[in-house]
Structure 1
Amino acid sequence: MRRKDRKPLLFLRFPLPLCLLAVAGCGGSDVKDPSAGAAPPAAILSLPPGWNTVEPGGETTCSRGDPFKYFVRPGTVNRLIVEFRGGGACWNAATCSVAGSLFQETVTEDPMVVNQQGASGIYDHENPDNPFRDWHHVYIPYCTGDIHWGDNVATYGEGSSAVSIQHKGAVNVRAALAWVYENVPAPEKIFVTGCSAGAYGSIMWSAHLREHYKEASVYQFADSGAGIITETFFEDSFPSWKPEGAYPTWIGGLDPAELARLDVLYRTIGNHYPDMRLSQFNTAYDEDQVFFFKAMGGGSAQDWSAAMRASIDQIEASTPNFSSYLAPGSDHCILWRPAFYTVESGGKRLVQWLDDLVNREPPPSVACEGDACGAPQ
């Protein structure tokens, strides 16, 4: 189902930091930001500099039985990034049977995921404009097709064409967070983020992190995951992941039947934790979100864009601690791009907006308008 006339979907080649794939090959800045809190705890400092691989084993797994692993990079300040990788999704025989075309199946070290130009975006630890250059970083890969929410083994199709998918995203995340809870006992600040499918992981699991770290300041940033789905997908396909195990069930008044609707999820978490800061980034005509919207039976790029804006408006109206950043164009994901430092909307660079989010007063929402948003692809 890959679009033959287009470049490969960006979420399928979302670049890990170059040194991440070398496991422990490159460190970040050795200069401590004096404004960034106390020194990090000894537990995470015991890791070698640079990226380290953790293989939890146990019940963790990728979609077709391959092993799951995650990556940890110790920082120099008592602040923590928990990042969820993107990588598509699958929910029926058509989307789950085309191996690797619509979702990331394994934790891979394929050269496609390496940024050959070196680390960029939030992984550039030498850039003084990077608000996260000295933070600890836990990077949770994605290989289960269930936006990090699932706990099910589903069989799609019949007979010789049947395919079984281990939608165990929630199991994998819980294993990674168990390590985090043990090794980072009292972070000052936590930035929970992710691109594409990882954006949905970021909002769901931000509640778990906030509940565990009751004294920490928690900031959530969903990169290119607006959650615009069709009613058919919501009713017929989403339940195959059995995502209930990821729900923040301790929150009173929670309606599990509605949590797949992102405006409900943001409102539920945001109102329960009014001290959290929740946020989304999207481009006006995100080509990959539009592609999946169409795959679910949705309409045009304009239809998706209008629905995305309406969803943002709904969240803002019900969730005072939520803000959004809408950039021009159709690019998918910003965290890893060099444009992380240059993209501007409403007169504000994104990197400055994020610096305000985690270090200053909550920034107001910004959005491109009219011709400044570009044209749909």
Structure 2
Amino acid sequence: MGRAGFNLLHVQYPLEAALQDGAGCGLGDDYEFVLRVPEHGPNHKDLVVEFLGGGGCWNYTTCNATTIGWQGQETTRYWMSQNLLAPTKAQFGASLTMCRFPLLGGGIRDFCKEENPYRTWTYLSLSYCTGDQHLGNNIATYSDGNGNNMVVRHLGAVNVDSVLTWARQLFPDLQRIHVIGESAGGWATFAWARQVAHRWPQARVAGWSDSALHLLCPSPVCHQALPMVDDSWNAINHLVAPPSSQLLTADAIRKPGWSLADLMVEALEELGGRLTFGVFTRSADAYQRLYWSLFGGHSFEWTSGMVALVNEMERRLPPSLLRTYVVSGSDHCIHRSDDLWTLQQGGVRFIHWLGNLSSCSVPAGSARVWDPAVGSEATYVGDASCNIQRCGGHG
């Protein structure tokens, strides 16, 4: 197998620029991100925008919670620092040439693999250090009730807006953009894929949310949680919510019947087939069930609720716009796992499903892939083609 070299550029905002933009991490550090450039230079037509995952928090308890992560026991404070990028920068410097992201895992970031659909794309990876699913625009002060306070800068949306503004200037004529993310980053893709499509109105955009159905909406749990995180994060702000949306408003999310399926239908129908979206999840994902429980739900209810929610999306959207890949298991995320290269269900390899997200001509059987042990996909009757002028292809 050939080796695909690339430049891994680790970009840091100067302090004065961070202060000017308002960008920054949850505990006051400067914000940083990664730009991967293909071997022969930047690809000005095809871009990946990746949202990294991590822990989320919305009060004193959750912002100091202890979890088990890739470095062992970690507090949520870990996810509000630059520790995920700092070891790479300390060991390898700010720029290097190699075909795999060092220390940040394999999976989709392994560009040594010739079948990586993003091997020749420019790859923009947004670090996560604000505890707000990349959605916040608020500086919050949390108290434990005993005189201890904690200030958290939930500035995820400010960081994303700063990076996208920079990318728009550098890559103004993009034709294809894939907006991808895992866990907290997967939650972000539900909102930011639409914003990206608005910012590059000539591009065909595909979103991929990996293991990010932590909240099942509509439900009493969702009705309680969305206002709570909006109060903490100011998540429904002008940077995240396009003016055309009737559903990404502070009033809308506080209504008992607010539905993620409604939001997806609004976004995908508004953009006339120029935006497609893919959802991947495992049926008993341990982390999604954990956060569902933290929001107030019962863990044993999550799987049936997830199946019902995804089926609802499928009943209302054709496979030309919505793609789903649902399998058994409790592992969280496939994004950084080498399972990404080997997973196959119903004769459809996951990596091919991912690579074809922006293609118009995918048969329904290859767009909606389910493990029968989890449940069957919703029945769709109608035209499965995109019926638009601009269509992307595989690769």
- Report the TM-score when normalising by structure 1: 0.79
Determine the C-alpha separation between the residues in 2 that align with 1:371 and 1:213.
Answer: 37
Alignment match of 1:57 (pick from 3, 7, 18)? 18
Note if contact 2:65-2:76 (Cα within 8 Å) is conserved in structure 1.
yes
Q: CA 1:206–1:95 in 2, change beyond 3 Å: closer, same or farther?
A: same
Q: Indicate yes or no: 2:151 matched with 1:164.
A: yes
- State the Cα deviation string for residues 84-104 of structure 1 (Å, max 9, x = none): 010020012210134752461
Percent sequence identity over aligned pairs: 26
| Aligned positions of 1:2-17 closer than 5 A | none
Q: CA 1:54–1:102 in 2, change beyond 3 Å: closer, same or farther?
A: closer
| Aligned positions of 1:1-377 closer than 5 A | 29=4, 49-55=7-13, 57-58=18-19, 59-75=22-38, 76=40, 77=43, 78-98=45-65, 101-102=75-76, 104-108=79-83, 109=85, 120-157=106-143, 158=145, 160-229=147-216, 230=221, 231-245=223-237, 246-254=239-247, 256=249, 257-259=251-253, 261-275=259-273, 276-300=275-299, 302-320=300-318, 321-359=321-359, 361-362=361-362, 363-370=366-373
| Deviation (angstroms), 1:111 | 5.3
- State the Cα deviation string for residues 145-192 of structure 1 (Å, max 9, x = none): 111111111122245322121111101101110111011111121000
Note if contact 2:214-2:292 (Cα within 8 Å) is conserved in structure 1.
no
Secondary structure of 1:236's partner?
helix
Determine the C-alpha separation between the residues in 2 that align with 1:142 and 1:166.
Answer: 12
Equivalent residue letter for 1:331: D
Higher strand residue share? 2
- State the Cα deviation string for residues 233-272 of structure 1 (Å, max 9, x = none): 2343442211122433321534513457432332221121
- State the Cα deviation string for residues 96-132 of structure 1 (Å, max 9, x = none): 1347524611122465999878862211212121111
Q: CA 1:118–1:194 in 2, change beyond 3 Å: closer, same or farther?
A: closer
Equivalent residue letter for 1:106: S
Note if contact 2:328-2:374 (Cα within 8 Å) is conserved in structure 1.
no
| Deviation (angstroms), 1:80 | 0.3
Equivalent residue letter for 1:105: M
Determine the C-alpha separation between the residues in 2 that align with 1:195 and 1:371.
Answer: 21
Secondary structure of 2:356's partner?
helix
- Report the TM-score when normalising by structure 2: 0.76
Determine the C-alpha separation between the residues in 1 that align with 2:262 and 2:174.
Answer: 28
Note if contact 1:258-1:264 (Cα within 8 Å) is conserved in structure 2.
no
Note if contact 1:97-1:163 (Cα within 8 Å) is conserved in structure 2.
no
Equivalent residue letter for 1:49: N
Aligned Cα root-mean-square deviation (Å): 2.7
- State the Cα deviation string for residues 313-360 of structure 1 (Å, max 9, x = none): 122223331121112211111111111111122331110111222346
Determine the C-alpha separation between the residues in 1 that align with 2:278 and 2:375.
Answer: 22
Note if contact 1:54-1:72 (Cα within 8 Å) is conserved in structure 2.
no
Gaps of 5+ in 2: 67-73, 92-100, 377-395
Count matched residues: 328
Secondary structure of 2:190's partner?
helix
Secondary structure of 2:7's partner?
coil
Note if contact 2:9-2:36 (Cα within 8 Å) is conserved in structure 1.
yes
Determine the C-alpha separation between the residues in 1 that align with 2:246 and 2:296.
Answer: 31
Equivalent residue letter for 2:18: G
Q: CA 1:261–1:161 in 2, change beyond 3 Å: closer, same or farther?
A: farther
Gaps of 5+ in 1: 1-27, 31-47
Determine the C-alpha separation between the residues in 1 that align with 2:343 and 2:88.
Answer: 24
Note if contact 2:56-2:131 (Cα within 8 Å) is conserved in structure 1.
yes
Equivalent residue letter for 1:294: S
